[in-house]
Amino acid sequence: MTDLFGDPAVFVQTLVLKVPALLVAVTVHEVAHGLVAERLGDPTARLQGRITLNPLPHIDPIGALAFVLAGFGWAKPVPVNGANLRRPVRDMACVAAAGPASNLIVAFLGLVLFVLLRRTASASFIAVPLAGVLFYVYQFNLVLAIFNLIPVPPLDGGHFLPYLLPRGSWSLISQLEQYGPFILLLLVLTDATRFVIGPAVQFVSGIYIAIVGLIL
C-alpha cells in the first residue's frame, strides 16, 4: 500500500513480477493437495476440476484483492472428503503435508534457476524481469510453505493435529477449528506470525543457499 500511494509506477512494476510468482506458489500448493488426496482414495478435487495447473480455478477473488492491497492473500482450498480416504486421520495429514512440501521443492528450484540466470545471462530486457520473477517464486513458495505449517486450522499445520495428538484431545481440536480463522486473522493483523515465520524462513533459506552454493 505504501508504494501504491507513494510511487504507483514502482507498485505496478513490482506487482507485475509478484503476480506470476504468487500464481505459481498457490497453484502448485493446491494441486499437490488434490493429487495426494486422489492417490489416497478421494477424487473430489479432480471431479471439481481443481487438479489443474491453470491458476484460475484456484483463485479466491477476495484473497487476490488482499494480495494486491495488503501484500498477502490466499487461494481457494482444494476440497477433500475425508470419508473417501482409506485411513482418514493419517491420510488427511499426508494431504496437508503435500502443499508445504511442494512449495519447498518449488522454492529450491526457483532459487537454483535464479542463481543460474544471474550467472549466465546478461542484464537484458528479458533477463532482469525474469530474475525478479524467479526471486519472488523462491520467496513466496518458501514463506507459503512455512506459514501453512503453523498449527492453527484452517492452515495445513492444523490438519496435522489429529494425527499427532491423542484421540482424547480431538474435541479440543474441533473447537480450535471453529475459532481458527479468527485466531489466524489476529496473528496476521498483529504481525505476530512474523516472529515465527521470520526465523524459520531465514533458517531454511540459509540451508537452501548453502546447498545451491555447493552444487553450482
DSSP states along the chain: -HHHHH-HHHHHHHHHHHHHHHHHHHHHHHHHHHHHHHHTT--HHHHTT-SSS-SGGGB-HHHHHHHHHHS---BPPPP--GGGSSSHHHHHHHHHHHHHHHHHHHHHHHHHHHHHHHHHS-S-TTHHHHHHHHHHHHHHHHHHHHHHTSSSTTSHHHHHHHHHS-GGGHHHHHHHHHHHHHHHHHHHHTTTHHHHHHHHHHHHHHHHHHHHHHH-
Q: Tell me the average pLDDT across 199-206.
A: 95
pLDDT tens, 97-149? Answer: 999 999 999 999 999 999 999 888 766 667 888 999 999 999 999 989 998 89
pLDDT of residue 188: 75
Out of 17, 22, 25, 30, the active site residue is 30
- As a whole number of angstroms, the distance between CA 54 and CA 51 comes to 9
Answer whether residue 212 shows pLDDT above 90.
yes
Active site residue 177: no
User: Contact 156/37 with Cβ under 8 angstroms?
Assistant: no
Q: Which domain, by its residues, includes 85?
A: 2-215
> What are the cell numbers at 159?
490438519
Q: Residue count of the chain, please give it.
A: 216
Percent of the chain with pLDDT over 90: 51
Answer whether residue 2 shows pLDDT above 80.
no
pLDDT tens, 46-81? Answer: 999 999 999 999 988 877 776 666 556 678 889 999
pLDDT tens, 29-42? Answer: 999 999 999 999 99
The residue with greater pLDDT, 67 or 151, is: 151
pLDDT of residue 73: 64
Q: State the total domains in the chain.
A: 1
Q: Which residues is 96 bridged to in the sheet?
A: none
92-96, 104-108, 164-168: least confident range = 164-168
